[in-house]
Amino acid sequence: MRIPLLLVAAGAVLGVAACDAPAGDREGAGEPQAPGAPAVPNGEPDRGKAGTPAPDVTLLREDGGPSTLAAFRGTPVLVNLWATWCAPCVAELPALDRLAEAQGYDLTVLAVSQDMEGWQAVRPFLKRTPLEHVTVLADPDGELGSALGVAGLPLTVLYDEAGKEVWRVAGPREWDEEGGLPPVRTENADAAGQGAADRALSAKGAAYVARGQEPGWLLTVTPGESVQVEADYGAVKMAFPAPAEAPGEAPFTLEQQNEGHRLAVTVSDEPCEDSMSGRDYPNSVTMVLDGKTYAGCGGPV
């Protein structure tokens, strides 16, 4: 059943405004709040539904053919629910398009229209406001919005490679600014995912892995091959020469240079708990990349 959505503030400022549903029409309206669970502010990631499978609903491509969220599994998928009549939605679409361009194959960005007229409303809008990197789909019956319990637009939900929710953001956000995209990679979201990711890296020859949050980073040491670094939620990716042998027991340090870039890693024998997943690691790790310091946890794999 379609949830009616009303534009509450014409010309509202991006970042504080959203297109809200009337209180009586909101999914779960009137239900008591869980004790000790304050509401997450608009524009901030809410992980309260993490692990929930993506809804199995049918969406429409421009050619009228069906599509599903399951069709995009294999990479993280950012699903943005919007409408042509929602001013904050329209205002953030260019930022989502730039984000999709910057992320490339590492992240799929879907813009799912909630217009009841479907492509009849979306098609002329896209002629006025082209989106070159976002995949646009239509949900004229509001099935996805209803399944997600949407109370207003925009609503943006991140799903991991397996189609499980990582976080959601109610209201608009400056997605393409520094720090605008919360952690995407599944291994930064839960302990089981981190363990699975480490096993996959080990199978490829990695001997040591370290990672951290805010901003998300990942360091992988593959002896005799390379030291791979992803920082700032994947916005920075570099490779450095690797030592011939696997790092010894902590404490130890690793310093490398490549094409003017400098990497210094300090590993202590102090145990560390990942701040997001709660996973325990044997080492506390400090990484300095071109003068910027990152703190996190690590261990042999």
For 20-72, write each residue's pLDDT tens digit: 543 333 343 333 333 444 578 899 999 889 889 999 999 999 999 999 998 88
Model pLDDT, residue 1:
42
Tokens of 185: 């990679």
pLDDT given at position 6: 36
Contacts by residues 10-15 (CB-CB < 8 Å, ≥ 24 positions apart): 10/87, 11/87, 12/87, 12/88, 14/88, 14/91, 14/92, 14/172, 14/174, 15/43, 15/172, 15/173, 15/174
| Over residues 197-219, mean pLDDT | 85
As a whole-number percent, the residues of the chain with pLDDT over 90 amount to 59
Residue 248 scores a pLDDT above 90: no
Q: How confident is the model at residue 201 (pLDDT cuts 50, 70, 90)?
A: confident
CA–CA separation, 268 and 246 (whole Å): 16
Domains of the chain are: 19-28+39-182 (3.40.30.10), 190-300 (no CATH)
Q: How many CB atoms lie within 10 A of CB 130?
A: 9
Higher per-residue confidence, 39 vs 231: 231
Looking at per-residue pLDDT, the higher value among 256 and 192 belongs to 256
Is a pLDDT exceeding 70 seen at residue 2?
no
Q: What is the pLDDT of residue 38?
A: 52
Whole-number pLDDT of residue 190: 53
pLDDT at 23: 35
> How much is the pLDDT for 58?
96
The predicted structure's pLDDT at residue 232: 82
Cα–Cα distance, 169 to 152 (Å, whole number) = 11
If one compares 298 and 29, the residue with the highest pLDDT of the two is 298
Calculate the average pLDDT of the chain: 84
Confidence at residue 277, expressed as pLDDT on a 0 to 100 scale: 67
User: pTM above 0.75?
Assistant: no
pLDDT in tens, 126-160: 999 999 999 999 999 999 999 999 999 999 999 98
Quick one: pLDDT at residue 184?
76
